[in-house]
Amino acid sequence: MKRFCSHFLITLFFLIPCNLLGNEIIFEYETKNQVNLQDLISAMHNADIILLGEIHDNLFQHRARADLIGKLQSEKFVIVSEHLSSGNEITYSGSLLEDLEIIGFNKKSWSWPVHEVLYKKFEELSLPVFGGNLSHEDINNIYLGKKFSLSDTLNPLVDKSVLNSQSKDKLINDLVAGHCGVVEGDLLSFMFKVQRYRDASLAQIATAVAPAIVIAGNGHVRRDYGVPQILKKINPSSHVVSIAFLEIDRLFETTDSVIKKLFKDADTDYIWLTEAVSREDPCENLLGRGD
């Protein structure tokens, strides 16, 4: 019989075994039941596209995803990365960071070496890695209202995947919240458009190279307004599994109220909890509250 931690105060979900602390605490979104890692892997086994979210600066999550990918029959999967622009593919030479920088990886923007453990796993398994993001040039052209390099490919996907009013409002609210509540008007409209085109680009590349694993921020792996929403419009019969990687300050504080909030804020097939990392409040300086 599994031993359980008596200090947990959890009534909505069944108790979490002590041996999961610091490793994986995973919930299925629809049932709100906890699942073990092997059951999750079984559910992912025949997926066409798997989406693994992230909080970009959380090393615990990159380690967890690297371990998960290592446990999958991963030789059949191709990686599609938000950290690289569409049209790029990695060639491994034995110098991982150089290999990434050659194809446009920005080590400052992505706070290298935070993601190193993940990419080392790709290298270890010799997994193909394709870029799925928009280029800076394309983003600038979207801002200027000009045609961009992926227009002809992505416009039909975006047009076919128009969000319903509820999903659109949720994305707008999340964009505002993610930018400290100070973005509005034309800038908000631009950010909304870029988000949709980014998701369309990730979806288009993943579909082209499937079976694929998409690694991207949690906003991109949401079912209501992210890549899965577009994938289902492209091919309603495709088997898509999305996992949000979320964090809480202390795993042993996984109480009812904490879990309820996480489920309210996420919309993915599974939620994987990790410890939080220490970080400065990015809104402090922006809102003039810093020193």
Which residues in the chain belong to E strands, given as ranges? 25-28, 34-35, 49-52, 78-85, 129-133, 212-215, 240-248, 270-275
Read off the pTM: 0.88
What mean pLDDT is predicted for residues 112-120?
A: 98
Question: Minimum mean pLDDT among 43-47, 93-97, 170-174, 188-192: which range?
Answer: 43-47
Name the percent of the chain lying above pLDDT 90.
72
Structure-block tokens of residue 288? 């003039």
Question: Minimum mean pLDDT among 60-69, 142-151, 241-250, 279-288: which range?
Answer: 279-288
Contact 240, 48 (CB under 8 A): yes
Distance of CA 236 to the CA centre of its chain: 21
The tens digit of pLDDT for each residue in 35-60 reads 999 999 999 988 999 999 999 999 99
Contact 105, 131 (CB under 8 A): no
